[in-house]
Structure 1
Amino acid sequence: MSDPAARQFARYQIPMCVAALFTIKCAVMWQLKDHILLQQDAGLDTSVYLKLTQQVMAGDIALGPGLYFVSPLYIYVAASILAVADSVIWLRLVQIVFGTASVALIWWCGREWAGSRAAWCAAGLASLTGLFTFYEALLLQAAIDPFLTSLALAALTAALTRSRWTWFLAAGAAFGIQSLNRPNILIAAAGLIVLLLLSRRSRGAAAMVAGLLLALAPVTIRNGLVADDWSPLSSHGGLNFYIGNNPAADGTYVMIPSITPSIVGQQQDARRVAELAVGHELDDAGISSHFYRSALQWIREHPWPAARLFARKLVYVFNSAHLSLNYSYPFYAYDADTALRALAVGPWLLIPLGLTGVASLAWTRRDGAFCIWAAFIPLYAVAVAAFFVSERYRLPLLVPLCVASGAALDSFSSALASRRWRRVGALLGLIGLLGLGANWPLGLDDARAEERTRMAERSAMLNRLDDAEAWTAKAEEIHPTPGVVHFRVGRALAVRGRPVAALSHLQEAARLDPDRPETSYALGQALMDAGRASEAVPHLRRALKAGVRPDLAGFDLARALDAAGDRQSALQVQQDVKPAHKDDAASWYQMGQLAQQWGDSRLAARYYGEAVSAAPGAFDLRQRLGLMLALLGDFEAAVRELERAVKLNPSDATARLNLAVACAQLGRTNDARVQAREALRLDPGYVKARELLKALEK
């Protein structure tokens, strides 16, 4: 190529590469944008983040009361973008722009530490890293993690190579901003500040602390004003720490008993579990502190198991196994048939290559600056392992590993070109050894079977029955417990109002897992909904005996017995039924309605009384209880409840008339007339009120 042509190519090289990278990312985004598991209403983290985003856009800027339960930065980034362009497509496009900028920052870091050729190698590896592109196409906070990490590390690179306090200030601010999206970063940032102090860069350390505090100030002020807690932290840290450090922890996400495995479920159940444990109400910070204390107590009492668990988590951090949390990358790369399949670079390559590059650069540069920068890798690894390991939590690690991997490739090619065979052998040996460790099979679940099952469930909920059956068959192929697949698909079909279609799956689930009482309960419900009450009874009895949701199973068994013609047995069962939570007013009310339908006014009054205790401000519950007490002849108690109902809703003509009738039964004729007249005033066409008033005035 001639010199003018070469210069012309060099001029357009970077824009062409950026355009190609952006095109690849857009292609993946376009393939995933309509995927049924990634929609706004598909549940999991995406739905929660978008709901909070909509609250901010509706004017609830502070998202109070209390502390944030999730990391807040992504919520405000998404709200800012959607306020300008009201479409999640634009949000995804901006995330891709961030991702493209991240690759540019990786290139710049590579050039600063190892030269131009290493920089291009690093940028190429980052461009082909499917995990970056995948998460950038999703609607959750991990989408901006690569950009925030590369921005912070680029600022730190400038600070360490130029030794200007303003760059240290910028680095601290960048790490602080990122910690509002990924709180573990605070641990790594604190470690970097300590290393700056130990290397006698006290001015830089002070500037970095100042930048960090400056970035955290808005959230700290918000928490102080809204939650009376002058802390920059959100309230889910304690629960996450406990998930990773308890007797049943295995280093990954493991469901905690009594806590629903979702953001909303965790927020609600964590409060209930913590308050039950301490015996009094707690604020958000108190709930988080409770779980921190519980985890630390277990660590103190079991130091060796805790140490082994921590070591295992560090192994997971530096292993290529896909540790899914809600979204399985292998599923979207291979089962969803996307371009991610071609983006083959991942932890399997970046971990051994990147760690080799760190060792090589540390050896050849022999300066403390690079070692401080590279210390982000072990510091952040420890920050992840302190909690629990998942693929998206360790995503920031891939950024410095890309930079160091570019350096490793450059070092290897230089050694090869200069025929330094010992260095070539040493590099290959180290890459091979680290590659063996990074790719050692640990038998961890990549959640591909779970995603196939979710596809079957979601297809069933969307009435795509053929797709549901096809995905059920695919899930069965690799799921460790195929009965669970049929159980979940059957339950989804039942919820969607297709009990007949649900029965075949639930019966297959019962055949595959005959000892699973949850299947018996779902099968009994489906049989009830299909009009086969007699067949439902034994399944519901088994579920109730096994303790599966005794409140609901008992209620359904009573309904089934009544439908089968055995009302006496139904009433006996119903008398022992209680909601799972005493303050569940809706369940008490539903049980009262059933008892009323069966003509057992005493049982109905008891249930309505419990409902009123759970929700004393509910007008309808008060009125129902008053009516049942009146039917039982306890007119004094009926009048008390109906008077309270009228106070709760003074404009309800029916409540006024019911109170008038109860007062008349007690001989309180004047009070009865007053209430009957008021009922007639509220509803001039109310015939029953007119007739009662006429009878009272005789």
Structure 2
Amino acid sequence: MPRPAAGRAARGPLVGILSAAFVLRIAYWFFSQKSPFYEPLLLDPAYYEGWAARILRGDFVGEGVFYGLPLYPFFLAALYKLSSHALAAVKAAQIFLGLLNIFFIYKIGKKMADEKTGLVAASLAAFYGPFFFHEGILIPETLGLFLYTVSFYGVCLFLERPTAKGGAWLGLAFGLAALTKAGILFFVSGFLIYFFIRFLKTKKSVRPAAACALTFLLVLAPVAAHNRIYGKDTVLLTAHSGFNFYIGNNPDAEGVFKAPPGTGTNVDSQREDSRALAEKALGRTLKPSEVSKYWSDKARDWIAENPGAFLKLASRKLVLFFDAREISDVDDYAFGAKFNPLLKFPWPNFAWLGPFFLLGIFLSRGAAVRHRWAAVFWIAGYTAGVLMFFVNARYRLPILGVFFPFAALGILKFYESIRENRWGGVLARGAVLAGGILVTQANLVGTDWARDYVNAGDIFVKKEDLEQAVEFYREALKAEPHSAVANQAMGVALTKMGRSEEARDYYEKTIAEDPLDGLAYNNLGLWHDNHGDSETAEKYFLKAIELKPASYQAHNNLGMVYGKRGDNEKALAEFEASLKINPSNPRACTNLGLIYHRMGREADARAAWRRALAIDPDWKDARRALDLSESA
């Protein structure tokens, strides 16, 4: 059977849109290689890169309960396995996912309205700057955006023809999407309840909804089983939800990410710090679920005691969700223009998408838009999920696949009013559009250039290019002279360069700006220890541990102070405390072995040194100590 003429006519423009999107993404990829953020060396990209590397080494279990949703690291590991660990293969795969996402946005627009709406939606998505920007970053939302868009297209198909087979495929898509971003759980729960009630009332078979629910649960079941079997704990998906809930709902919350006092900003430090603070407060060792419950209970207590402040904060988060700026916590879209010339071009961004989306939602009430209720419920459910925690650009990303068809509808309807000279309609629709612009341009939070410069500097520290790191830290301090983070980072870099006197000044500035910064006290302790003042060093290390109980570095450093004094029992306790927090620290293992050796426990000493070498086969101090012990 020949294809319908309309279908053949649309295929040409769609191929053109996808081709243009492909060329743009290849050009962006080429220029992005000059950016310090190209490689996954920092924050969440580094965390998922490290997780994938452990999977490739055969460590499928990890440390027990998952801390983070597991689909993306397994996706990364599979790509690395197939490509001999080529980062370019991951970047290419994410570009391919981006193109598929544009295709399904077209399909959703066509399904909800018509061909023209689908093509306009796809055109917007093809040139939407935050899409190709985030496709270049190793974060779960890149995979999640594609899975969420496919899932909603599946919802449209299911609504038109609910079958058991279609329900099973939809449940699979729902489950995979939930394993990248759990915000879909609100929609899935409501959607399935609605269909079960509907089928029961109409006495139709519940098999389609049952197939969807069963497949969805089967996809999630291995994660819950893993947590139960290997973590000995009951956690449905991931153990970090309680702490994230507290980050978004506490007396100092601002609606965006802000680490609570005594906790770090990267995933590993957040996990260690949140556990240590919870255990210190409750006075016992806690399972991951208990740590999560401790923080979620604190958040709920604050909400119950401050309902007015909570509602005000929730309203602020809602406005932030629609903020035109890409509020970042990893790599910043605006800051990226300093390294990639393509980002200097004014590509469509949320300043365009947001107002036209709101106009499209408004106009869709009286328009012939299919599945509108499902789309509104989809958006509302996911948005509510984000507002429970905190807002940033990448958390908004997965839902945008449904924004584009509504934005396309808004553009087409507005253009239609102008073309037909219906000036009353133009004014009314213009007023709605102006309201959308006001919302998206509220600018409730400023741009933290200092943080972005510090992140760039931290990457060069990892690359051991300290001179370049210092230049970025200088820029950070120009942008915000009172930044505790920038002063701290400068001090660390100068210490590594052997400029300890200058470094001390920056550590002291850090404490002056943030008296609760445990890392600065640890660094000052090291400075005094290196200058022979062990008593002052001890005081600083103890203060660091008081402020940051999960500082394995401070415990290790304090143990070294005690070891130099010959106080082996105290040293032993500190090294053991350090290893309890971070079992993969070869330095603490080596130091523990030295204390065992002094105490005459030679077998334990050798075991500690072997453990250090198992962690890092190139750890010279452990190798030297073990060789001397075995040859004695």
Q: TM-score, normalised by structure 1?
A: 0.75
Report what 1:57 is aligned to. Answer: 56
Correspondence for 2:560 among 590, 611, 626 = 590
Contact 2:76 2:90 in 1 (8 A): yes
Q: Deviations over 1:46-97 (max 9, x none)?
A: 1111111011111122x33421101111011111111111201011101110
Correspondence for 1:307 among 302, 307, 311 = 311
* SS of the residue 2:364 aligns to: helix
Change beyond 3 A, Cα 1:175–1:330: same
Cα deviation for residue 141 of structure 1 reads: 1.1
Contact 2:482 2:513 in 1 (8 A): no
Q: Distance in 1 between matches of 2:211 and 2:111?
A: 22
Matches within 5 A, 1:513-532: 516-517=510-511
The residue type equivalent to 1:139 in the other structure is L
Contact 1:357 1:407 in 2 (8 A): yes
Matched, 1:317 2:321: yes
Q: Deviations over 1:207-252 (max 9, x none)?
A: 4423421321222232232224454310111110110011111111
Change beyond 3 A, Cα 1:460–1:68: closer
Cα deviation for residue 353 of structure 1 reads: 0.7
Matches within 5 A, 1:244-255: 244-255=248-259
Report what 1:358 is aligned to. Answer: 361
The residue type equivalent to 1:268 in the other structure is E
Change beyond 3 A, Cα 1:215–1:290: same
The aligned length equals 590
Report the more deviating stretch, 115-124 or 186-195. 186-195
Change beyond 3 A, Cα 1:19–1:518: same
Report what 1:383 is aligned to. Answer: 385
Matches within 5 A, 1:489-638: 490-499=490-499, 503=502, 516-517=510-511, 553-554=524-525, 556-557=527-528, 559-560=530-531, 562=532, 570=533, 573=536, 579=542, 580-581=544-545, 586-595=556-565, 604-605=567-568, 607-608=570-571, 610=573, 624=595
Correspondence for 1:439 among 438, 441, 444 = 441
Change beyond 3 A, Cα 1:359–1:551: closer
Change beyond 3 A, Cα 1:32–1:195: farther
Change beyond 3 A, Cα 1:284–1:430: same
Cα deviation for residue 609 of structure 1 reads: 5.8
Change beyond 3 A, Cα 1:139–1:317: same
The residue type equivalent to 2:301 in the other structure is Q
* SS of the residue 1:225 aligns to: helix
The residue type equivalent to 2:55 in the other structure is V
Instruction: Report the RMSD for the aligned CA atoms in angstroms.
Output: 3.8
Q: Distance in 1 between matches of 2:410 and 2:27?
A: 30
The residue type equivalent to 1:244 in the other structure is G
Change beyond 3 A, Cα 1:406–1:165: farther
Cα deviation for residue 453 of structure 1 reads: 3.3
The residue type equivalent to 1:70 in the other structure is G
Contact 1:412 1:424 in 2 (8 A): yes
Correspondence for 1:257 among 261, 273, 276 = 261
* SS of the residue 1:344 aligns to: coil
Report what 1:222 is aligned to. Answer: 226
Report what 1:645 is aligned to. Answer: 602
Contact 1:491 1:506 in 2 (8 A): yes
Q: Deviations over 1:373-400 (max 9, x none)?
A: 2321122111100111111101123221
Q: Deviations over 1:494-518 (max 9, x none)?
A: 2432418x83x876x69xxx96546
Report what 1:84 is aligned to. Answer: 82
Identity of aligned residues (%): 22
Q: Distance in 1 between matches of 2:425 and 2:238?
A: 48
Q: Distance in 1 between matches of 2:106 and 2:229?
A: 42
Contact 2:52 2:74 in 1 (8 A): yes
Report what 2:23 is aligned to. Answer: 23
Change beyond 3 A, Cα 1:208–1:550: same
- Can you give the 5+ residue segments of structure 1 that lack an aligned partner in the other structure? 521-542, 563-569, 596-602, 628-640, 653-679, 687-698
Correspondence for 2:294 among 284, 290, 295 = 290
Report the more deviating stretch, 164-173 or 308-317. 164-173
Report what 1:99 is aligned to. Answer: 98
Matched, 1:336 2:335: no
Q: Deviations over 1:6-60 (max 9, x none)?
A: 99986544333322211211221222245223323x2211111111101111112
Correspondence for 2:432 among 430, 433, 436 = 430
Report what 2:616 is aligned to. Answer: none
Matches within 5 A, 1:60-71: 60-61=59-60, 63-71=61-69
Contact 1:146 1:399 in 2 (8 A): yes
Change beyond 3 A, Cα 1:359–1:625: closer
Report what 1:122 is aligned to. Answer: 121
* SS of the residue 1:271 aligns to: helix
Q: Distance in 1 between matches of 2:410 and 2:320?
A: 23
Matches within 5 A, 1:31-46: 31-40=31-40, 42-46=41-45
Change beyond 3 A, Cα 1:291–1:519: closer
Q: Distance in 2 between matches of 1:383 and 1:7?
A: 38
Tell which has more relative contact order, 1 or 2 (C-alpha 8 A, sep 6+).
2
* SS of the residue 2:367 aligns to: helix
- Can you give the 5+ residue segments of structure 2 that lack an aligned partner in the other structure? 581-587, 610-627
Report what 2:453 is aligned to. Answer: 452
Structure number with larger C-alpha Rg: 1
Contact 1:242 1:292 in 2 (8 A): yes
Change beyond 3 A, Cα 1:551–1:14: closer
Q: Distance in 2 between matches of 1:142 and 1:464?
A: 30
Q: Distance in 1 between matches of 2:80 and 2:172?
A: 25
* SS of the residue 1:305 aligns to: helix
Cα deviation for residue 647 of structure 1 reads: 6.5
